[in-house]
Amino acid sequence: MVRSRVGSAIHMKWKLVRGEEARPKYVVCNADESEPGTFKDRVIMEELPHLVVEGIALGAFVVGAEKGIIYIRHEYGRAKAALEAELDRARLAGLLGSGVLGSDFNLEIEIFVSPGGYILGEETALLEALEDRRGEPRNKPPFPGQVGLRGRPTLMNNVETLALVPGILRHGVSWWESAGRDGHSGLKFISVSGHVERPGVYEIPTGTTVAELIELAGGVSGDRALKAFAPGGASSNFLPAEHADVPIDFATIEERGSMMGSGALVVVAEGTPLLPLAANIVRFFRNESCGKCVPCRLGTQKATEMIEATIESGAPLDWSVIRKLNLLLGETSICGLGYVALNPLISVAEHWPGEVPGCSAEAPE
Amino acid sequence: MARQGRDEQMIGLTIDGRPVRVLPGATIWEAARTLGIDLPVLCHDPRLEPVGVCRLCLVEVGEPKLTAACVRGAEEGMEVRTSSERLEVCRRGLVELLLSDYPVDVSRLPKTGSDALVELAGELGADWPARRRSGETGEAPGSRTEPAGGIPAGDGRALDHTSKVIFVDHQACILCDRCIRGCDDLQVNEVIGRTGKGYRTRIAFDLDVPMGESTCVSCGECEKVCPTGALSLRGWETLPEDAAAPGVEGWEVL
C-alpha cells in the first residue's frame, strides 16, 4: 500500500475527493516544509521538480480538479525557481493549460509563497492563509477533502507523496512494494541531521534500520556513541540508543513509542544533555503557536517558563503541572501543534529521568 | 405535507442517553440546549458564529478526540456524552490555565454582577485564590495575577483607558473572539481584530491604536458580549489613581 507523509493511504484521500460533487475542486501541494530537522522536500523540489509537477497533474486528473497550487515555504527560493522552470517547460510541452495533450482536461498550476510560519504547514491553517486570513487551523471536521479551499473539495498532499506517484504508476505497485526490505513496502526520503558525519537527505528502502541509516550518514560524529534519536522531527518522541535497531517504517517506529512524523532523523551523541534540547523544542512550539485556542496559546508558554526556570536554577520541575499541561494540550487543542508540543520533553523524562530535576523514574505517565 | 417533509429531514442523536431530534445544520451545543443541557462556554454566544477556541464545550462523540460542541454539527445516530471525569479534568484545567493569567482583582464583577470566567472557576472547583478587591486585602498586591492549579502566573499586559466609554484590561482578555465578532458581524463597525501571535496575541483596534484613538463609535457591543473583565463600561474606579489624564499603561510591555 502506498503511504503518504503521515502514513495514511494516499488512495483513500484521492478517492474521497474524487467522489465529491461540488465544483470547482483544487489540488494543493503542501510544500511548507517547516518541521525542525526536515529538508527532504526542499531537495526533491530542487532536484526532481518534474516529479512534483507530474504528481500534481495526476492528482488533479484523478479527482477532477482544474487548478493546482504549490504552497511553498518562503525561504525556499531555489526550490521555487526550479518549480517555475519546470512549470514553464510543462506549459510549452502542452502538459498544462487548456486541453492537456489534446484531451478535454484543463489544468493550471500556480505557486503561492507562504507568508511564513510553521503553523501554516497545518493543512487548514494553510487554507486560511490561501484565503488571505490569519493562518490559524480550522476546527475539524469538516476535512479539506470535503470542505477545503474556498469551501470546495481540496486534495492536499505533501511534496514527497506527490513526487512518488508517477514512478508507482509507471512501474506498478509490485515494483513499489518490492522496493522495501524485509517485508516493508516502498522507499522513503529521510532528512538526517544532528551528530552525524554526513547530514543530508537519504532515500532508503523502508525496513532499513536507524543504525544502518546512521552508518550511511557516516556514523555518529566525533567517534562518539549514540545516545538518542528522534525518528520523525521535532515533534516525535526521543528514543534511546538501544532502539536503533528499529526498522524505519510507520508502524515499526510507532511500536517503539515514537513516530515517522516528517521523516527527519535527528541524531544525538553521547555527552549531550537532553533537557536543554527538549526545552529548545518546546520553546519552538511556543513561538510557533498561532494563539487561536486556549490550551496551546497558554500551555506552551507556561511549560516553556517552567522548563527554563528549572534549567536556570536547577530547581525541580513540578511534574504534576507538566503532566496536566500535557494532558490539556493533547486532549483539547485544535490541531497537531498543540497535541505534540510537550512530547519531546515527556519522552526525555521517560527515558532519562535523571536529566529532568523533579522527575523520578515512575513520574511520567 | 410540508411539515412531514421537515420531520423526515430531522437528525436524530442521543445526548447523555437522551434522544433528541434537530434540524440539519444544528450544532451539538444547540441540540444539548433543547434538552436543557447547558454546556459551559466562554467563546460562544448564540448570536455569533461559533469559533470553538475556548474548548470548554468539548464533548465525547465516540471518536478518539474530543470535539467542540459549539462548532460540531449534529450527525444522525451520534452518541454524545457531555460529562465524564475526562471532560471535567479538561474543563477545570482549561479554566485554571486562563486564571493563571487573570487579574485576581477584576473590574467587571462589581459593575455587572457577572464574570463568566470567575463563575466557571467556582462551578468547576478550580484551584485559584479567592477574589479580592482593592482595599479589602489591606495592601496592594504586588502582581495582579496569581498561580492557578500550580500553573505559574503571567502578568504585565496593558490597561487602555483612552476610550471615554470602555475600559480595556488586556490582562483580563482570554481571546474568546466575542468582541471581534460583536463589532464586525453584529454591529458591522469592524474596528476590533487580533494582532500578534501565540502567547502574544491580543485584541487590537483598527491598525493597533489605543481604543480612544480608533474609529470606535462607542456602541458598547464589545462590552456587552465580553465574558470577562477585559472590556467594561468605564467608571471613576477604573481610572488608575496616579493617572490624571487618560492613556495607555504598559503598552510597550506587549
Residue to test with chain B: of A292, A306, A308, A312, most B Cβ within 10 A: A292
Mean pLDDT lowest among A231-235, A355-359, B140-144: B140-144
Residue A363 lies in a domain: no
Q: Supply the range of the domain harboring residue A280.
A: 274-355
| A298 vs B contacts (CB less than 8 Å) | 97-98, 100-101, 199
Query: Mean pLDDT over all residues of chain B?
Result: 87
The beta-strand segments (E) located in B29-171 are 58-59, 67-68, 79-80, 159-160, 166-169
Query: Mean pLDDT over all residues of chain A?
Result: 95
| Residue of B23, B52, B48, B193 whose CA lies nearest to A142 | B52
Both A121 and A49 in a single domain?
yes
For residue B86, what are the contacts with CB-CB under 8 A and spacing of at least 6?
A331, B60, B66
Choose the final residue of a domain: A171, A191, A211.
A171
| Residue of B124, B70, B64 whose CA lies nearest to B94 | B124
pLDDT of B137 > 50? The answer is no
Pairing of strands A26-31, A67-72: parallel
Interface A–B counts its CB contacts (< 8 A) at 99
* Beta-carbon separation of B149 and A324 below 8 A: yes
Query: How far apart are alpha carbons B15 and B26 in whole angstroms?
Result: 14
Both A241 and A295 in a single domain?
no
Give the residue on A whose Cα is nearest the Cα of B56.
Answer: A332
| Residue of B172, B175, B168 whose CA lies nearest to B144 | B172
| A286 vs B contacts (CB less than 8 Å) | 198-199
| A139 vs B contacts (CB less than 8 Å) | 51-52, 68, 71-72
Query: Which residue among B72, B149, B198 sits closest to A286, beta carbon to beta carbon?
Result: B198
| pLDDT at position B110 | 66
% of chain A with per-residue pLDDT over 90: 94
Residue, of A255 and B105, whose pLDDT is higher: A255
For residue A132, what are the contacts with CB-CB under 8 A and spacing of at least 6?
none
Residue A3 lies in a domain: no
Torsion of CA A231, A236, A240, A243, to 10 degrees: -50
Both A280 and A293 in a single domain?
yes
| Residue of A362, A357, A365 whose CA lies nearest to A273 | A357
Contact of B228 with B178, CB cutoff 8 Å = no
| pLDDT at position B1 | 43
Residue A300 lies in a domain: yes
Q: What is the CATH classification number for the domain harbouring A242?
A: 3.10.20.600
| pLDDT at position B234 | 82
Residue, of B254 and A75, whose pLDDT is higher: A75
Both A166 and A208 in a single domain?
no
Q: What is the pTM of this model?
A: 0.93
Cis peptide before B129 (omega within 30 of 0): no
Q: How far is A327 from chain B (nearest CA, A)?
A: 8
Query: How far apart are alpha carbons B244 and B55 in whole angstroms?
Result: 40
Query: How far apart are alpha carbons A93 and A117 in whole angstroms?
Result: 35
Both A107 and A34 in a single domain?
yes
A163-212 pLDDT, tens digit each? 999 999 999 989 998 999 999 999 999 999 999 999 999 999 999 999 99
Residue A246 lies in a domain: yes
Query: How far apart are alpha carbons B21 and B15 in whole angstroms?
Result: 10
- Amino acid identity, position A123: E
What average pLDDT score do residues A85-96 get? Answer: 97
Query: Which residue among B53, B71, B72 sits closest to A294, beta carbon to beta carbon?
Result: B53
Residue, of B193 and B252, whose pLDDT is higher: B193
* Beta-carbon separation of A297 and B175 below 8 A: yes
- Amino acid identity, position A18: R
| Residue of B194, B199, B170 whose CA lies nearest to B183 | B194
* Beta-carbon separation of B197 and A331 below 8 A: no
Query: Which residue among A289, A290, A324 sits closest to B93, beta carbon to beta carbon?
Result: A324
A20-47 pLDDT, tens digit each? 999 999 999 999 999 999 999 999 999 9
Both A47 and A159 in a single domain?
yes
CA neighbours closer than 13 Å in the CB half-sphere of residue B86: 13
Residue A361 lies in a domain: no
- Domains, chain B, ranges and CATH? 2-83 (3.10.20.740), 91-130+139-240 (3.30.70.20)
| A291 vs B contacts (CB less than 8 Å) | 175, 194, 196-201
What average pLDDT score do residues A129-133 get? Answer: 97
| Residue of B173, B155, B156, B237 whose CA lies nearest to B211 | B173
Q: How far is B145 from chain A (nearest CA, A)?
A: 14
pLDDT of B239 > 90? The answer is no
Query: How far apart are alpha carbons A48 and A159 in whole angstroms?
Result: 10
Query: How far apart are alpha carbons B222 and B230 in whole angstroms?
Result: 10
Choose the final residue of a domain: A223, A254, A269.
A269
For residue A24, what are the contacts with CB-CB under 8 A and spacing of at least 6?
A65, A66, A67, A152
* Beta-carbon separation of B199 and A117 below 8 A: no
The beta-strand segments (E) located in A122-278 are 154-158, 187-194, 200-205, 226-230, 239-240, 264-269
A67-88: b or e for each residue (b if 16 or more CB lie within 10 Å)?
Answer: bbbbbbbeebeebbebbeebbe
pLDDT of A104 > 70? The answer is yes
Cα-based angle B59, B63, B66 (whole degrees, multiple of 5): 30
% of chain B with per-residue pLDDT over 90: 70
A134 DSSP 8-state letter: -
How many CB atoms are located within 10 Å of the residue B112 CB?
A: 14
Q: What is the CATH classification number for the domain harbouring A338?
A: 1.20.1440.230
Both A255 and A109 in a single domain?
no
Both A51 and A34 in a single domain?
yes
Residue, of B137 and B239, whose pLDDT is higher: B239
* Beta-carbon separation of A334 and B149 below 8 A: no
Contact of B190 with B182, CB cutoff 8 Å = no
Contact of A10 with A4, CB cutoff 8 Å = yes
Residue A75 lies in a domain: yes
* Beta-carbon separation of B199 and A288 below 8 A: no
DSSP secondary structure string for all residues of B161-173:
--SSSEEEEGGG-
| pLDDT at position B138 | 44
Contact of A202 with A217, CB cutoff 8 Å = yes
State how many domains chain A has. Answer: 3
Cell numbers 451539538 correspond to B28
* Beta-carbon separation of B174 and A299 below 8 A: no
ipTM of the complex: 0.93
Q: How far is B46 from chain A (nearest CA, A)?
A: 18
Query: Which residue among B53, B93, B194 sits closest to A327, beta carbon to beta carbon?
Result: B93
Reduce the DSSP state of residue A292 to 3 states and report it. Answer: coil
What average pLDDT score do residues B95-105 get? Answer: 93
How many CB atoms are located within 10 Å of the residue A178 CB?
A: 13
pLDDT of B232 > 50? The answer is yes
Choose the final residue of a domain: A234, A269, A304.
A269
- State whether the Cα torsion A76-A236-A135-A161 is positive or negative: positive
Both A65 and A102 in a single domain?
yes
**Going edge to edge, which strands form the sheet with B248-249?**
B231-233, B166-169, B159-160, B248-249
* Beta-carbon separation of B90 and A327 below 8 A: yes
Q: How far is B81 from chain A (nearest CA, A)?
A: 15
Both A227 and A322 in a single domain?
no
| A315 vs B contacts (CB less than 8 Å) | none
B113-126 pLDDT, tens digit each? 689 999 999 999 99
* Beta-carbon separation of B86 and A331 below 8 A: yes
pLDDT of B254 > 60? The answer is no
Beta bridge partners of B22: B11
Query: How far apart are alpha carbons B168 and B174 in whole angstroms?
Result: 12
Both A221 and A85 in a single domain?
no
Query: How far apart are alpha carbons B134 and B69 in whole angstroms?
Result: 38
Query: How far apart are alpha carbons A40 and A232 in whole angstroms?
Result: 12
| pLDDT at position B236 | 61
| Residue of A155, A239, A252 whose CA lies nearest to A209 | A252
pLDDT of B44 > 80? The answer is yes
pLDDT of A102 > 50? The answer is yes
B20 φ, ψ to 5°? -150, 145
Q: What is the CATH classification number for the domain harbouring A132?
A: 3.40.50.11540
Both A34 and A120 in a single domain?
yes
pLDDT band (50, 70, 90) for residue A10: confident
